[in-house]
Amino acid sequence: MTRLLVDRLVDFNNERLRLIFGERVTELTREIIERRRGDLGSALDALQRQYPDDVAALEVRFLRQSAVRQETGRYQALFEEGLIPQELFEDLKRGVTAARAAEPRPRFDIGLDTRRLIEQLDFLSALSNAQLDRVARLLRPRFTVPNERIVRAGDRGDAVFFVASGAVEVRLPVRNVRLGTGEFFGEMALLTGRPRQADVVALSYCRLLVLRKADFDRFVTANPDAGAAINRVAQTRLAMNRDDHDRAARRRPDSTRSP
């Protein structure tokens, strides 16, 4: 729907806005609309690749509903032209509405079943089924779209995120680090009490499992091995960032170095 609307905006911009605001402004709005159209195209393309069956089902539904709208429009026109009486028109409309209501909505299963997602996390593979059930009660599933910012540098940390599927990018001052299925992020703020060290942005559609700060300690107490594994990864990341920071500081001229 959004793409259809943006397509119509292109004509609106060319035909109507040009008359009111002139060439210069319309050129700027055209660029903005084209950029939005490009972003939408890539998002739809990614959606199509990741959920081809769901997209096909949605397209079929969309076509059917367009046909229904056209059918209603034709009856309306016949009625307005006086070719069919009101009673018949109402009857035809009821028939169309009933057919539309009878069509089931396609179920869009984005696979956010916490218990199944947990099985993607290798560092929990040693847990028994009963332990996994307990962990599942602490984790909340979250779905993200490409380019969505999940963590903002400088914010207070309120959760750690486990990637059950998809890819994210950690945007650090010196480098970007990609993390994928089975990895996690957002643990540093919880472990150190410091603000978030980097933006973390989704590169694809992701299924994440979110462990809120209030549940993190409970999780670590109940699963000490998993807690130790998270701690080890955090230490390695801290060391990497410290190295990057020191190297960057050495490259800066003395005048810009803080005393």
Instruction: Report the nearest approach of ligand CMP to the CB of residue 131 (Å).
Output: 24
Q: Which residues are at the interface with ligand CMP (CB under 6 A)?
A: 151, 157, 170, 172, 177, 185-189, 196-198, 200, 237, 240-241
Alpha-carbon gap, residue 101 to 72, rounded angstroms: 14
**Nearest CA to 195 among 155, 167, 140?**
155
CA angle 231, 232, 235 (to 5 degrees): 85
Cross-strand bridge partners of residue 200: 151, 170
Instruction: Report the nearest approach of ligand CMP to the CB of residue 194 (Å).
Output: 7
- Contacts of 245-254 with CB under 8 Å at 24 or more apart are 245/173, 245/174, 247/174, 248/173, 248/174
Choice between 144 and 241, CB closer to ligand CMP: 241
Choice between 103 and 155, CB closer to ligand CMP: 155
Residue nearest to ligand CMP (CB): 189
What torsion, rounded to 10 degrees, do the Cα atoms 16, 20, 22, 23 define? -20
Instruction: Report the nearest approach of ligand CMP to the CB of residue 68 (Å).
Output: 48
Choice between 138 and 188, CB closer to ligand CMP: 188
Choice between 164 and 200, CB closer to ligand CMP: 200
Instruction: Report the nearest approach of ligand CMP to the CB of residue 15 (Å).
Output: 47
